[in-house]
A and B are shown apart, each in its own frame.
Chain A
Amino acid sequence: MNVRDRWSGLFFLAFSIFVCVEGIGMDVGTFHVPGPGFLPFWSGVVFGIFSIILVGRSILSKPGEGKMKNLWKGTNWGRVIMVLASLFIYAIFLQGLGYLLATFGLMALMFGMMGKTRWWVRVITAAITVVATYMIFYAWLDVQLPKGIFGF
């Protein structure tokens, strides 16, 4: 049984049901006069049918195929979670702290997470990177970047 396909198929099936319900709520309309929910509803139906086929096929597949534990075998999955978590925390604080501070923190963390480097090398590289991009994008190209509560 392909466990990976089964779980992803079940998740997508639940999602397709949600989309269909949303589509009905928007008014599907008729084939003659399609409503706003026409595309979401029918895409949801098709998506749901494909998900059921995937789940069915995964149950009929050879035992031992697509094991969940093989997904992260030999990989540093902890680092992936750390990177992803840092990105979300960054997005939450970006507006409040401003581009310079928030991005400096993120870069210092990223340079450290992606490989072993001394802390001061990380700090200097992050500072140079953030200031350089600020000069290029904000000062030169006039791209608006968040200033934050400190005004920079």
Chain B
Amino acid sequence: MNLLCCFLGTLMGTLVGVLPGIGPIGAISILLPATFRMEPISAIIMLAGIYYGAMYGGSTTSILVNIPGEAASVVTCLDGYEMAKQGRAGPALGIAAFGSFIAGTLGIIGLMIFAAPLAKFALKFGPPEYFGVIVLGLTLLMYLSHGSMLKALMMGALGLILSSVGLDHIHGTPRMTFDLLQLWDGIDMVPLAMGVFGISEILINSEESGTPEILKTKIKNLFPSLSDWAQSKGPILRGSVLGFFLGILPGGGAVISSFVSYGLEKRISKEPGKFGKGAIEGVAGPESANNSATAGAFVPLFTLGIPANAVMALLFGALVIHGMRPGPFLIKDHPDLFWGIISSMYIGNVMLLVLNLPLIPLWVQVLKIPYRILFPLILLFCIIGAYSLKNGVFEVLLMFIFGGVGYLFRKFDYEPAPLLLAFVLGPMFESNLRQSLTLSRGSFSIFFNRPISAVAIVLAIILLVTSFIPYIAKAREKIEE
């Protein structure tokens, strides 16, 4: 059963990675309700498979269509598409898949090595430490998000406001429920995520019609030549290490690591001028980094119970729904889950290699599915998913409202990822803040008296302050461009 779930997850991950528009966040939020009746381990294995599967699939569209299937493959377009135009689509796709496989495997080894000691260390954490790490995670995500930092901060604050809807956990007072019984349990994460990521995507795509134009090129020589390997081995190894550690950082993840890897490879290259003109290093490095980062992102989730990015926030929600509490006790209390996921990731990486290399012509055909067929189907899955949460129309309505709001966010350049992460972390943020303040009799010095929380909060303050210094803000915008 777990093998089947792993296969389904990686298959769906590759599919959403290939299809431009819907990314792993949208896919996981849509499929989350479908896992409610599954065994928890099978459910998490499938959802995790979607995440790392999407990293594999994303490169196909970047290389062949010059449209990234998902955000972490944006940078692959630069050299991948150029390689395809030069008739080297095969080696580009091949090195992306092999690099992803090697990096994915190295990332899992890293996860095995680091998770258990970190979980032991996390047992020393009290409310101030948790609060500090959450604040740092949220700030990092906002700092590294696309577009305006100010708008990202606003989305974070809005996420916290939305997370406070429902009964107060300590006093039992209804908060912003507007006499609606359905809101007493709070806003569910699934309609929010499906709305701002899934439905808003449908609305954005309903503005236009048509399918992406696929480069007409023969895909041959999927196995890179010896000289391709010689050029790529360094970027793959560097990308794997870099991606893993950037993935661990709260707020980091696949997207950032792919950009940093590209920048690093260009900087250390003897011929930086060839980047952007079909350099295989520009494909190997970022594609390895984004896969390795997916494994790294599991570390804070399994050890601290803090999701590092929006996808991990959804997996955090999935674990809670399935009756498990992510945090330092997760590995000790549910070793079957931890090792089940580790083994599934090893097997999943092999499955992805098999799915991606020989089946590339099939994925190219998938790209030809017109939006007019695809998007009503996605909508239908969203509806069934939202309804099945509580067998009520309220969640469906809520999802549509968030869909409309998410559409406006996109039009007005507000990124929804910080909102989702703040929303998921909101209850933890609130309870740790309130507990810390009660412990310190209302003094904020408690956050600076303890080394871990002090370091985390000082780092967060530095990030916040520097992001508003004009020189750094401009540099940040330049990097983003």
Q: Give the 10 A-B residue pairs with the shortest CB-CB distance, closest first.
A: A115-B372, A32-B442, A31-B442, A36-B168, A114-B372, A110-B376, A75-B207, A47-B157, A36-B173, A43-B160
Q: Point out residues on B near A: beta carbons under 8 Å.
A: 34, 37, 150-151, 153-154, 157-158, 160-161, 163-164, 168, 170-171, 173, 175-176, 199, 202-203, 206-209, 370-373, 375-377, 379-380, 383-384, 387-388, 391, 393, 396-397, 400, 403-404, 407, 411-414, 426, 429-430, 433-434, 437-438, 441-444
CB distance from A60 to the nearest CB of B (A): 12
Contact between chains at B203 and A31 (CB < 8 Å): no
Chain B residues with Cβ below 8 Å from A75 are 207-208
CB distance from A16 to the nearest CB of B (A): 8
Cβ of A152 within 8 Å of any chain B Cβ, yes or no, is no
- A-B residue pairs in contact (CB < 8 Å), sample of 12: A12-B158, A32-B442, A35-B171, A38-B434, A40-B161, A54-B154, A77-B207, A84-B404, A84-B407, A88-B400, A117-B372, A133-B380
Q: Which of A73-123 contact B (CB under 8 A)?
A: 75-77, 79-80, 83-84, 87-88, 90-91, 94-95, 103, 106-107, 110-111, 113-115, 117
Chain B facing A: main interface SS: helix
CB distance from A83 to the nearest CB of B (A): 5
CB distance from B466 to the nearest CB of A (A): 16
Chain B residues with Cβ below 8 Å from A115 are 209, 370-372
Known contacts A43-B160, A53-B150, A79-B206, A107 near B376 by CB under 8 Å: yes
Contact between chains at B170 and A36 (CB < 8 Å): yes
Contact between chains at B161 and A43 (CB < 8 Å): yes
Contact between chains at A51 and B154 (CB < 8 Å): yes
Chain A facing B: main interface SS: helix
CB < 8 Å A-B pair total: 156
Instruction: Write the A10-41 contact mask toward B (1 if CB under 8 angstroms, else 0).
Output: 00100000010010001100111111111110
CB distance from B170 to the nearest CB of A (A): 7
Chain B residues with Cβ below 8 Å from A57 are 150
**B161's contact among A19, A31, A53, A107, by CB below 8 Å, is which?**
A19
Contact between chains at B161 and A47 (CB < 8 Å): yes
**B154's contact among A12, A37, A114, by CB below 8 Å, is which?**
A12
Q: Point out residues on A near B: beta carbons under 8 Å.
A: 4-5, 8, 12, 19, 22, 26-27, 30-40, 43-44, 46-47, 50-51, 53-54, 57, 71-72, 75-77, 79-80, 83-84, 87-88, 90-91, 94-95, 103, 106-107, 110-111, 113-115, 117, 125, 129-130, 133, 137, 141-146
Contact between chains at B206 and A113 (CB < 8 Å): yes
Q: Which of A4, A44, A80, A125: most chain B CB closer than 10 A?
A: A80
Contact between chains at B437 and A32 (CB < 8 Å): yes
**A34's contact among B373, B396, B438, B443, by CB below 8 Å, is which?**
B438
CB distance from B18 to the nearest CB of A (A): 20
Contact between chains at A30 and B442 (CB < 8 Å): yes
What is the bound-complex CA distance between A75 and B410, given in angstroms? 14
Chain B residues with Cβ below 8 Å from A91 are 393, 396-397, 400
Contact between chains at B173 and A44 (CB < 8 Å): no
Contact between chains at A71 and B411 (CB < 8 Å): yes
Q: Report the nearest B residue to A22, measured CB to CB.
A: B176
Known contacts A12-B154, A32-B437, A47-B157, A111 near B372 by CB under 8 Å: yes
Q: Report the nearest B residue to A95, measured CB to CB.
A: B393
CB distance from A113 to the nearest CB of B (A): 7
